[in-house]
Structure 1
Amino acid sequence: MSSRTGEQRTTPRITVDDLTGSDIAALLATHLSEMRANSPDDSMHALDLSALRHPDITFWSVREGSDLLGCGALKQLDASHGEIKSMRTAAEHTGRGVATALLTHIVDEARARGYRRLSLETGAAPYYLPAQRLYTRHGFAFCPPFADYAEDPHSVFMTLAL
């Protein structure tokens, strides 16, 4: 991740997060609010704090010193398939490579777990195009719905063979 010119920064770290901090709760509240604003209710698949605490989900935060830069999660769908959930960069830290670092971390973790495939759902509206570009740059391809998802004009499904 790059530093902004003239600022002293510590090395960002990606760690498993217990979802108890007020900063992560605020970032996820912003995430949910923006997802609701850009997707119809029946097409909004972002998880709240309670759902992210499910045992099949590992949740990470990216921090630099005490600053929360972003977050993301990996949900185990079965022994060979994982799903990316809740990828988010804090607004004041976009453009620094936070999402790329976190996505790389999640892909590496999925490989370490022995998954053969990693998938995700994101929105189809223009608001979601930067996310789609990020995933495409990292080898994800568009695919049909997976797991319990159904065909939906407001959703885009992507997958990466590991």
Structure 2
Amino acid sequence: MAFAIRLDDLCSEAVHALLREHLAGVALHSPPESIHALDLDGLRAPGMSFWTLWDGEALVACGALKELDREHGEVKSMRTAAAHLRKGAARAMLGHIVAEARRRGYRRLSLETGTAAAFEPAHRLYASAGFSPCGPFAAYVDDPYSCFMMLEL
């Protein structure tokens, strides 16, 4: 399937709906104090880049890259719309984010995701892309509901 990935300004209702789906999905499997997903304001913050993935006019997925410092980035807000799961969208978005991190000259790319069974597909995707478990990074702390992973670039 050929997807189009676009740098997004977070203004469309379709994007807002996908982000609401993302936040609601995370809230089903993690307690509030362990949720690190970003809202619209967080995704518009300095140092953030946000992309959407489209199949024609259909919004399929989103993802973001946060610059932690000149050599370290963080994958944020990876989400595939429920209607488009298992079509390669998440892999395409992750590939785009990794390529952008390399283009920027980052030496490593980190992420935080949940530990509940619902997050297993994400764990498998990240592991298949070369990410490996690591400890907390940036301002994160050890949390039984957080899984930390890192990719050396």
Normalising by structure 2, we get a TM-score of: 0.98
Q: 2:45 aligns with which of 41, 54, 58?
A: 54
Whole-Å Cα distance in 2 between the matches of residues 50 and 66 of structure 1? 25
Moved more, 90-99 or 73-82: 90-99
User: Which letter maps to 1:51?
Assistant: G
- 1:159 is displaced (CA, Å) by 0.1
User: Which letter maps to 1:67?
Assistant: A
Whole-Å Cα distance in 2 between the matches of residues 43 and 12 of structure 1? 32
Cα displacement string for residues 50-103 of structure 1 (whole angstroms, at most 9, x for unaligned residues) = 110012100000012111010000000000000000000111111110000110
Match of residue 135 from structure 2: 144
Match of residue 116 from structure 1: 107
Gaps of 5+ in 1: 3-10
Match of residue 29 from structure 2: 38
Q: 1:134 aligns with which of 88, 103, 125?
A: 125
Q: What SS class does the counterpart of residue 15 from structure 1 fall into?
A: strand
Q: How many residues align?
A: 153
Q: Which runs of 4+ in 1 moved over 3 A?
A: none
Q: What SS class does the counterpart of residue 55 from structure 1 fall into?
A: coil
User: Which letter maps to 2:23?
Assistant: L
Match of residue 159 from structure 1: 150
Q: 1:99 aligns with which of 79, 90, 100?
A: 90
Bigger Rg, structure 1 or 2 = 1
Q: 2:17 aligns with which of 20, 26, 30?
A: 26
Gaps of 5+ in 2: none
Q: What SS class does the counterpart of residue 150 from structure 2 fall into?
A: strand
- 1:37 is displaced (CA, Å) by 1.2
Normalising by structure 1, we get a TM-score of: 0.93
Q: 1:70 aligns with which of 61, 68, 73?
A: 61
Q: What SS class does the counterpart of residue 67 from structure 2 fall into?
A: strand
Matches within 5 A, 1:4-15: 11-15=2-6
- 1:26 is displaced (CA, Å) by 0.3
User: Which letter maps to 2:94?
Assistant: L
Cα displacement string for residues 22-57 of structure 1 (whole angstroms, at most 9, x for unaligned residues) = 000000001101111110111000000111001210
| RMSD across aligned positions (CA) | 0.7
